[in-house]
């Protein structure tokens, strides 16, 4: 490549990179060229090789002959076909990478939602268990209180029944003793043969008995 052609190439290269708003690092990465080599080409210190012209033309979206007319265009065309295939494959790979990244992001988002929902569910379960335990404790305390009340009432009733039973037994003893006394009085009065006297004595005795019972 003549100095004039090399200078024209470097100027065209520099201009096209600027027009597309790219950096030399970005162009070098997309074209598969070492960044230092590209910088030397941009500064007119290195001649491009046919395959480099093909890759740069494809990346910069410019005709290869327009970019470097003094380079063997037959070789450039061969490399251009290969460059097209390489860059197309890289674009497809990049697209698949974006798709994969989207899938990974969706998976991560779903996992984050699942984790959040799981934590919320666990918290709800713990709260429900705590509430159930509190209610059970309240029911147990109420049951114990009522049992204590029932036991107290049962003891009181048992004591009352025992008192009534003792009183009944005492009264039965009194009635039995009084019955014996009446029988003896009847026999005594019958032996004397006086109905009126018997009635008076019995009446007096009954009155005395009633007075005693009232005491």
Predicted local distance difference test score (pLDDT) of residue 201:
53
Q: How far, in Å, CA of 113 to CA of 32, rounded?
A: 41
Contact 57, 80 (CB under 8 A): yes
pLDDT higher than threshold 60 for residue 80: yes
Predicted local distance difference test score (pLDDT) of residue 198:
53
Contact 16, 62 (CB under 8 A): yes
pLDDT higher than threshold 60 for residue 177: yes
Mean pLDDT of 1-20: 85
Average predicted confidence (pLDDT) for the chain? 81
Q: 93-118: string of b/e by CB count within 10 Å (b at 16+)?
A: eeeeeeeeeeeeeeeeeeeeeeeeee
Predicted local distance difference test score (pLDDT) of residue 39:
93
Q: How far, in Å, CA of 69 to CA of 13, rounded?
A: 12
pTM over the 0.85 mark: no
> Cβ neighbours of residue 68 under 8 Å, at least 6 residues apart?
1, 5, 9, 12, 48, 53, 57, 76
63: left (phi over 0), alpha (psi -120 to 50) or beta: beta
Predicted local distance difference test score (pLDDT) of residue 214:
52
pLDDT digits (tens, 9 = 90+) for 142-174: 888 988 898 888 899 988 888 988 888 888 888
**Which domains, and CATH codes, for the chain?**
3-71 (1.10.260.40), 158-214 (no CATH)
Contact 185, 201 (CB under 8 A): yes
Rg of the Cα atoms in the chain:
61
Predicted local distance difference test score (pLDDT) of residue 199:
57
pLDDT higher than threshold 60 for residue 47: yes
Percent of the chain with pLDDT over 70: 81
């Amino acid at each position: 490549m003549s100095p004039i052609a090399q200078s024209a190439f470097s100027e065209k290269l520099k201009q096209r990179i600027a027009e597309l708003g790219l950096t030399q690092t970005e162009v070098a990465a997309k074209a598969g060229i070492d960044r230092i080599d590209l910088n030397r080409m941009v500064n007119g210190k290195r001649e491009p090789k046919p395959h480099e012209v093909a890759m740069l033309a494809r990346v910069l979206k410019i005709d290869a002959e327009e970019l470097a007319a003094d380079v063997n265009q037959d070789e450039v065309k061969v490399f251009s076909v290969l460059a097209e295939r390489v860059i197309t494959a890289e674009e497809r790979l990049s697209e698949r990478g974006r798709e994969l990244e989207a899938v990974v992001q969706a998976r991560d988002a779903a996992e984050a939602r699942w984790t959040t929902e799981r934590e919320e569910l666990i918290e709800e379960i713990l709260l429900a268990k705590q509430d159930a335990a509190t209610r059970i404790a309240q029911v147990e305390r109420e049951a114990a209180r009522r049992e204590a009340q029932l036991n107290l009432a049962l003891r009181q009733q048992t004591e009352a029944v025992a008192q009534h039973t003792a009183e009944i037994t005492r009264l039965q003893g009194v009635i039995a003793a009084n019955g014996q006394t009446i029988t003896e009085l009847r026999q005594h009065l019958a032996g004397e043969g006086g109905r009126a006297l018997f009635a008076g004595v019995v009446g007096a005795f009954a009155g005395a008995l009633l007075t005693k019972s009232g005491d």
